[in-house]
Structure 1
Amino acid sequence: MATASLPKSEAVSKGYNFASTWEQNAPLTEQQKAAILALSNAVAERPFPPNLSQEQVPGKDSNLSIATKDSTSEDTGGMDAVLVNTHQFYKWFTDLESAMKYETEEKYRLYVNTLMERIQICDGILQQVDDTLNLFSELQSLHQTVATKTKTLHDACDRLLIEKQRLIEFAEALRSKLNYFDELENVSTSFYSPNMNIGSEQFLPLLKRLDDCISYVESNPQYAESGVYLVKFRQLQSRALGMIRSHVLSVLKGASSQVQTAIRGSGSNKTTVSEGVEASVIYVRFKAAASELKPLLGEIESRSTRKEYAQIVTECHRLYCEQRLSLVKSILHQRISEFARKEALPSLTRSGCAYLMQVCQLEHQLFDHFFPSSSRDVSNLAPLIDPMCTYLYDTLRPKLIHEANLDSLCELVDILKIEVLGEQLSRRGESLAGLRPTLQRILADIHERLTFCARTHIREEIANYRPSDVDLDYPAKLERSIETTSDTTVDDNSDVFRTWYQPLEKTVSCLSKLYHCLEPAVFTGLAQEAVEFCSISIQNASKSIAKRSTPMDGQLFLIKHLLILREQIAPFDIEFSVTHKELDFSHLLEHLRRILRGQASLFDWSRSTSLARTLSPRVLESQIDAKKELEKNLKATCEEFIMSVTKLVVDPMLSFVTKVTAVKVALSSGNQDQKLDSVLAKPLKNQAFAAPDKVAELVQKVGTAIEQELPKVMTKMKLYLRNPSTRTILFKPIKTNIVEAHLQLQTLLKSEYSVDEMEIVGMVPIQDLQAQLDNIL
């Protein structure tokens, strides 16, 4: 920037000097210098206002000069002005400020002028828009008028179309309904045509169309003459079903005729058909008829929900069973008759049931070829199966009635209950379910016969058993058994039943056979009766043995057999108790006597002595438990045996103690006469019966019995009671009683006798006595 030389004044000099000193002391960095240069260039390039020209204003008081650049100058782009005083500066600054203000206002003034011009343009456009909107409103009004008229026209057309469609649908519905009625003539013509037969392709479709017509007329009885049409349709249906029945019968008869011809051609007749011919001819050849009837039978089975078709299906079942029965019946009779001639009743039952199940299974398979949908219901084969089962039943029943052997009857129960009903019928499935009622009927007859024979057996062989001398030959029978066992090497249990009393053996054998063969309720009654009669029979035999041998043999015989009976009936899981009910008319005689004496009226219904109450019997109930009675008898017999053995050994001691006790009681009562009192007043040892030597004698007698009699008792116990634990249990109270008798006598001696006198008596110490008794056991 070029500047004019300034006059040298003191203020300016100071300013320049200060600036020079500042420049020297605080030099600017290159970056700061570059920033100042850039700022200077930016300021220098800013133009002066156009109304401000480059001029110089002289002043008096100021030596300041400022150089400016005119924006119109080409060389420097500005002008230089020198301000020499404050007035010039203020004037210059005012002009500069006015120029800047003018410059700023000029920009906004131009913008305002532009806006005003734009507003005028927009006002013109708005006026045009208003005119356009008015035209559009008129156009919209005209369009709405046209649309309303068009919609009215369209609605009228739609109503006409709907009405047309409704009329068309009504006409079609009317035609479809009339078609069912019009079909009467078409179907009648077809069914009565001479060319119509069951094998025709048109038969089944016509039958289906006829069914549809009948269903429609039945569901719409409100139509005119629907009843008349229904009758006519049903007549045609009956004719069609009759044709089906005749055709099925004709085919079945034809098949039967072919089978019979094949049988005759094989050189056999109906009574001598071999098993090979039976399988190949009667079943295999008969299946050919199924291929001809299967489509027709399948069609009528599919419609069996309707009553008339269900009836024709049932009729076809019946016709089929009749034709099959005519072929199979004679062969079945032949086979079962052969079994009956050659085999015993158990083998006949097993073979007859097996053959009958085989025939029934083959018949069910053949029936399934003809009627696949009906074969699941085995009752449809009842007209065929029942006659065959009846023949087997009629063959078995006479033999069952005459069968009295319990083993054979029990075997029959096992065959039917386990083999036939339990295994074979369950394994072969529901195809043999039709046999179950007959087999159960046969089983019920066997149960009835078995129950009757069992009651007869119990009554005759147990209750009314008459023992022989051999049966009552105890203990010799047991001794012979022991000798036989010792001479042979056979196990001890091989002949154990030979030592049993016959009614006991028959009771156990009978119950063992019946346990799994009869119903629990029936078996319980029989078991109670058998145990009761067996116990009574054993007791009667015991009394006879006591008379023939010794009372002890009778007691041990009874104990032995009651123990065996209790042991043998223990595995039976039943209650051996039954309740007997009976009518009691004993009170009738007293009531009648009161009526005859006039004390009561026969027709007084309000009193307890009325006719109804008088003639009403009383129901008396009594419960009998054979097992409890057995336990009671066993316990009483054991107690009786224990007391008898105790008395056999220590009876002198017991008598002595009893007598001493009686003397002491008499002394304490004070009711004796003087003579008796003088006798009893003596000390016990001075009494004649209680002298030490007398007591020693009875002690020696008891000792001898222990040494001699008690071993004999134990030998006999071993003979009757083979189980050591049983003998131990039975001997334990005997030992206790013997020891107790010695203790009582010892206590009495200690209280009444001196030591020397007790030595004379010679009582055995209790410990030695117990050891002696243990050795005997």
Structure 2
Amino acid sequence: MASKANLPKSGAISKGYNFASNWEQNTPLTEQQQAAIATLSHSVAERPFPPNLGQDRTGHQNALSVSTKDSSFGSEHSVAIEAVLVNTNQFYKWFTDLEAALKSETEEKYRHYVDTLTERIQTCDGILGQVDDTLDLFNELQLQHQAVATKTKTLHDACDRLLIEKQRLIEFSEALRSKLNYFDELENIATNFYSANMNVLNENFLPLLKRLDDCISYVESNPQYAESSVYLLKFRQLQSRALGMIRSHVLSVLKGASSQVQAAIRSSGGSKASVSEGVEASVIYVRFKAAASELKPVLEEIESRSSRKEYTQILAECHKLYCEQRLSLVRGIVHQRISEFAKKEALPSLTRSGCAYLMQVCQLEHQLFDHFFPSSAEDVSSLAPLIDPLSTYLYDTLRPKLIHETNVDFLCELVDILKVEVLGEQLSRRSESLAGLRPTLERILADVHERLTFRARTHIRDEIANYFPLDEDLDYPAKLERSVADNLETTSQADENLVFKTWYPPLEKTISCLSKLYRCLEPGVFTGLAQEVVEVCSTSIQKASKLIARRSSPMDGQLFLIKNLLILREQIAPFDIEFSVTHKELDFSHLLEHLRRILRGQASLFDWSRSTSLARTLSPRVLESQIDAKKELEKSLKTTCEEFIMSVTKLVVDPMLSFVTKVTAVKVAMSSGSQNQKAESVMAKPLKDQAFATPDKVAELVQKVAAAIQQELPIVMTKMKLYLQNPSTRTILFKPIKTNIMEAHVQVQSLLKAEYSPEEIQGIINMPSIQELQAQLDNLL
């Protein structure tokens, strides 16, 4: 039987379970802790029974045997307490002991667990202490590491700075070295240039020259460097020496080439002035190109550097040397050829041949120049020292001939050759190679224009303004009648020439002059000449019409003037110019009045602030006057036509016009109420009772007018047809005559109806009706 002290208590067990449950809820274990507890449970699963429970109590046979298994630790671990209970007291005691034992057993398990946890906590505390120590050591180590890293970074930064500084110093050293190289090159270049074997043909000459140019450019762009001006001066001295060597070399080669060409010419049996045309191209151009071909590399090198002032100068000198040598070769040949043209040909053909030959020479010279100076060939001025003297030979040959040329036709032909054929066609097709000739050709053309203008003014003065008409020029209308007769016998092709023969000679010369000069002179010059010649021609025609009027009849003079003025107006219409010219002249007419005022003391001679000052007094007035020859021509034509219309009208209906005038005067006198009794008695009579207005008198004047219409008017129309071949012109001119005749008849008929009886009108006067008169006049056209 177990002792009471060892018996578990049921209340203790219950509390133990409650504690364990609360413990599990309040302090949940991690998986690692649960694994540790499971390991401890396995290690204490098998335990020995307590001594008091392990004895065999089989001696009490009548007692109650109780077996109790404790399953608190699972099915695998159980506690069997067996006891023999005799009475209730023993049972309660046994139960109390059992409960105490169970309680103790349960607490033991948790105490063991607590102890285990305590040990582990202690272990953990020890470990945490070690960890804290380790962390302290780690923190210290980390601080040391940071200090080391900081020192390392500082060291690295210092190294980087040193490397950068080293690189910068290296670059500075290299830059300094590269800059010093330009200055150090002075000695090297000077040594080479002053060496005895250095010349332009040396393979090192051009590279050294280029290096010298680079050094000069660098020193020029950096004047802030010490002694840069000294080095620049020395570099320029070397450059001048090198360029001088180039100039001497070019001159030597060109002279050598010229000597070879001259020797070839002499060997061909001629001289420079007499070389044949076939030999000219092969010797003067081909041989020269071959002889001077060694200059091409040097000249191209100079042209490539022509942007620099020094090389521009040496290139210009080379151009000059080249042109001088070429001129010495071709001068004599060109002069000889032009002289030969001048001996054999007239002025127009000489101009054409000379220009063609010069263009050929100029083109060949341009091609040769382009071979040596390809980049300078486009500049016309480069070849001017050669082309200008050659073209001057032609100018000097043509100039004396132009001065003595009086034929306007020849001068117009020269203008056409120079302006159309040479400058217009040839130079436009080959403008680049022949551009050097243009100034000389334009100068020749300007001289031709000047000479043509002078001769045209002389022609206008002598042949038109001062024309003295011959008898046959004034033999009108007989001249026209002969022309009509000749026209009937000739063919239509000669009709135009016959028409021109009927023109007044100054008119024909005017139109011919304008036609020739229109395309030969500048518009401004031609306008002045056209205005002058039209004005002079119109004046000459008017003078001739007056002579014809005195010689033949006034009507012939009027129709002559109308005919020629109409032709002149018609012929100048195609010229697209203004026939107006503004003339300016100085007027000193006010000067005398100012001087009189000064002498009278009314004005001061030295009063510069007033209008009467000496400066204003002596200042002329500029008077402008505009003369329009075409308008003056129209005005003269209109005036002449009006005079002719009035003369024909008066010739036909003058009796009617006188009658109407007298009737009008009588009526005006009657309306004015004159005080003269005699006049009153006269005016009181009816119109038909007046002496000039009796039916017989009126019938007489009507018959005179009818006779004039039937006899005089056809003669007028015949003359109009003779002078004016254009029917429309005659119609226009006759229309106002017809209107005037009919208007006179209408006025007379109105007076007759008002003042005379029908019997007097029809029986005595017998005036034709307006319809009959109109039909009669229409038949005259």
- TM-score interval (norm. to shorter): 0.7 to 0.9
2:275 to 273, 276, 284: 273
- Say whether residues 1:768 and 2:775 are aligned partners: no
Output aligned runs, 1:313-324, within 5 Å.
313-324=315-326
Q: Residue 282 of structure 1: CA displacement?
A: 1.0
2:342 alignment partner in structure 1: 340
Greater mean alpha carbon deviation, residues 547-556 or residues 289-298: 289-298
1:738 alignment partner in structure 2: 741
Task: Give the match's secondary structure for 2:496.
Answer: coil
**How big is each residue's C-alpha offset from its partner over 1:642-684, in whole Å with a ceiling of 9 and x where there is no partner?**
1111111111222222222223333333336444443443333
CA separation of 1:642 and 1:672: change in aligned 2, threshold 3 A = farther
Provide the rounded CA distance (Å) in 2 between the counterparts of 1:766 and 1:218. Answer: 108
CA separation of 1:180 and 1:680: change in aligned 2, threshold 3 A = closer
Provide the rounded CA distance (Å) in 2 between the counterparts of 1:347 and 1:228. Answer: 65
1:243 alignment partner in structure 2: 245
**How big is each residue's C-alpha offset from its partner over 1:338-371, in whole Å with a ceiling of 9 and x where there is no partner?**
2222222222222222221221121111111111
CA separation of 1:686 and 1:185: change in aligned 2, threshold 3 A = closer
**How big is each residue's C-alpha offset from its partner over 1:627-650, in whole Å with a ceiling of 9 and x where there is no partner?**
111111111111111111111111
Provide the rounded CA distance (Å) in 2 between the counterparts of 1:317 and 1:604. Answer: 64
2:42 alignment partner in structure 1: none
Does the CA-based 8 Å contact 2:500-2:508 persist in structure 1? yes
2:382 alignment partner in structure 1: 380
1:579 alignment partner in structure 2: 582
Q: Residue 166 of structure 1: CA displacement?
A: 4.1
Task: Give the match's secondary structure for 1:494.
Answer: helix
Q: Residue 532 of structure 1: CA displacement?
A: 1.0
CA separation of 1:195 and 1:655: change in aligned 2, threshold 3 A = same
Provide the rounded CA distance (Å) in 2 between the counterparts of 1:125 and 1:557. Answer: 153
**How big is each residue's C-alpha offset from its partner over 1:674-698, in whole Å with a ceiling of 9 and x where there is no partner?**
4444344333323333222222222
Task: Give the match's secondary structure for 1:608.
Answer: coil
1:678 alignment partner in structure 2: 681
Does the CA-based 8 Å contact 1:198-1:243 persist in structure 2? yes
2:508 alignment partner in structure 1: 505
- Say whether residues 1:568 and 2:571 are aligned partners: yes
CA separation of 1:123 and 1:719: change in aligned 2, threshold 3 A = farther
Does the CA-based 8 Å contact 1:187-1:206 persist in structure 2? yes
Q: Using structure 1 for the length normalisation, give the TM-score.
A: 0.81
- Say whether residues 1:632 and 2:645 are aligned partners: no
Does the CA-based 8 Å contact 1:403-1:409 persist in structure 2? yes
Aligned length: 663
**How big is each residue's C-alpha offset from its partner over 1:578-628, in whole Å with a ceiling of 9 and x where there is no partner?**
111111112222222332333332222233222111111111111111111
Provide the rounded CA distance (Å) in 2 between the counterparts of 1:374 and 1:671. Answer: 104
Q: For structure 1, list consecutive stretches of 5 or more residues without a partner in the other structure.
A: 1-115
Does the CA-based 8 Å contact 2:580-2:629 persist in structure 1? yes
Does the CA-based 8 Å contact 2:534-2:629 persist in structure 1? yes
Q: Residue 705 of structure 1: CA displacement?
A: 1.2
CA separation of 1:130 and 1:518: change in aligned 2, threshold 3 A = farther
Output aligned runs, 1:52-63, within 5 Å.
none
Task: Give the match's secondary structure for 1:581.
Answer: strand
Provide the rounded CA distance (Å) in 1 between the counterparts of 2:589 and 2:128. Answer: 136
Q: Residue 142 of structure 1: CA displacement?
A: 4.2
Does the CA-based 8 Å contact 2:645-2:736 persist in structure 1? yes
1:467 alignment partner in structure 2: 469
1:309 alignment partner in structure 2: 311
Which amino acid in the other structure matches residue 698 of structure 2?
A: V
Output aligned runs, 1:28-177, within 5 Å.
137=139, 139-177=141-179
1:90 alignment partner in structure 2: none
Provide the rounded CA distance (Å) in 2 between the counterparts of 1:222 and 1:668. Answer: 116
Provide the rounded CA distance (Å) in 2 between the counterparts of 1:297 and 1:490. Answer: 71
Q: Percent identity?
A: 83
1:546 alignment partner in structure 2: 549
Task: Give the match's secondary structure for 1:583.
Answer: strand
CA separation of 1:672 and 1:563: change in aligned 2, threshold 3 A = farther
Q: Residue 140 of structure 1: CA displacement?
A: 3.8
CA separation of 1:160 and 1:699: change in aligned 2, threshold 3 A = closer
Output aligned runs, 1:486-635, within 5 Å.
486-491=488-493, 492-635=495-638
Which amino acid in the other structure matches residue 699 of structure 1?
A: V
CA separation of 1:224 and 1:682: change in aligned 2, threshold 3 A = closer
CA separation of 1:755 and 1:193: change in aligned 2, threshold 3 A = same
Greater mean alpha carbon deviation, residues 657-666 or residues 402-411: 657-666
2:708 to 679, 688, 705: 705
Provide the rounded CA distance (Å) in 2 between the counterparts of 1:501 and 1:474. Answer: 11
Provide the rounded CA distance (Å) in 2 between the counterparts of 1:774 and 1:160. Answer: 126
Provide the rounded CA distance (Å) in 1 between the counterparts of 2:300 and 2:724. Answer: 78
**How big is each residue's C-alpha offset from its partner over 1:275-332, in whole Å with a ceiling of 9 and x where there is no partner?**
2111111111111144301111111211222222111111111100100111111111
Which amino acid in the other structure matches residue 502 of structure 1?
A: P
CA separation of 1:667 and 1:351: change in aligned 2, threshold 3 A = same
Task: Give the match's secondary structure for 2:259.
Answer: helix
CA separation of 1:122 and 1:713: change in aligned 2, threshold 3 A = farther
Task: Give the match's secondary structure for 1:495.
Answer: helix
Task: Give the match's secondary structure for 2:472.
Answer: coil
2:647 alignment partner in structure 1: 644
Which amino acid in the other structure matches residue 691 of structure 1?
A: T
Output aligned runs, 1:364-375, within 5 Å.
364-375=366-377
Which amino acid in the other structure matches residue 622 of structure 1?
A: S
CA separation of 1:123 and 1:763: change in aligned 2, threshold 3 A = farther
Which amino acid in the other structure matches residue 375 of structure 1?
A: A
Which amino acid in the other structure matches residue 627 of structure 2?
A: I
Provide the rounded CA distance (Å) in 2 between the counterparts of 1:226 and 1:735. Answer: 105
Which amino acid in the other structure matches residue 751 of structure 2?
A: L
CA separation of 1:181 and 1:751: change in aligned 2, threshold 3 A = closer
Does the CA-based 8 Å contact 1:463-1:534 persist in structure 2? yes
Provide the rounded CA distance (Å) in 2 between the counterparts of 1:721 and 1:124. Answer: 154
Which amino acid in the other structure matches residue 181 of structure 1?
A: F
- Say whether residues 1:723 and 2:726 are aligned partners: yes
Does the CA-based 8 Å contact 1:290-1:369 persist in structure 2? no
Q: Residue 145 of structure 1: CA displacement?
A: 3.5
Which amino acid in the other structure matches residue 213 of structure 2?
A: D
CA separation of 1:411 and 1:131: change in aligned 2, threshold 3 A = farther
Task: Give the match's secondary structure for 1:607.
Answer: coil
Root-mean-square deviation over aligned CA pairs? 2.5
CA separation of 1:701 and 1:194: change in aligned 2, threshold 3 A = same
Which amino acid in the other structure matches residue 303 of structure 2?
A: E
2:431 alignment partner in structure 1: 429
Task: Give the match's secondary structure for 1:493.
Answer: helix
Provide the rounded CA distance (Å) in 1 between the counterparts of 2:131 and 2:630. Answer: 127
Greater mean alpha carbon deviation, residues 763-772 or residues 229-238: 229-238
Does the CA-based 8 Å contact 2:531-2:628 persist in structure 1? yes
Greater mean alpha carbon deviation, residues 674-683 or residues 241-250: 674-683
Q: Residue 472 of structure 1: CA displacement?
A: 0.5
1:449 alignment partner in structure 2: 451
Q: Residue 160 of structure 1: CA displacement?
A: 3.9
Q: Residue 163 of structure 1: CA displacement?
A: 4.2
Q: Residue 143 of structure 1: CA displacement?
A: 3.4
Provide the rounded CA distance (Å) in 1 between the counterparts of 2:389 and 2:124. Answer: 118
Provide the rounded CA distance (Å) in 2 between the counterparts of 1:171 and 1:640. Answer: 109
Provide the rounded CA distance (Å) in 2 between the counterparts of 1:757 and 1:222. Answer: 128
1:668 alignment partner in structure 2: 671
CA separation of 1:159 and 1:679: change in aligned 2, threshold 3 A = closer
Provide the rounded CA distance (Å) in 2 between the counterparts of 1:447 and 1:125. Answer: 128
Q: For structure 2, list consecutive stretches of 5 or more residues without a partner in the other structure.
A: 1-116
Does the CA-based 8 Å contact 1:666-1:672 persist in structure 2? no
Which amino acid in the other structure matches residue 242 of structure 1?
A: G
Provide the rounded CA distance (Å) in 1 between the counterparts of 2:510 and 2:187. Answer: 85
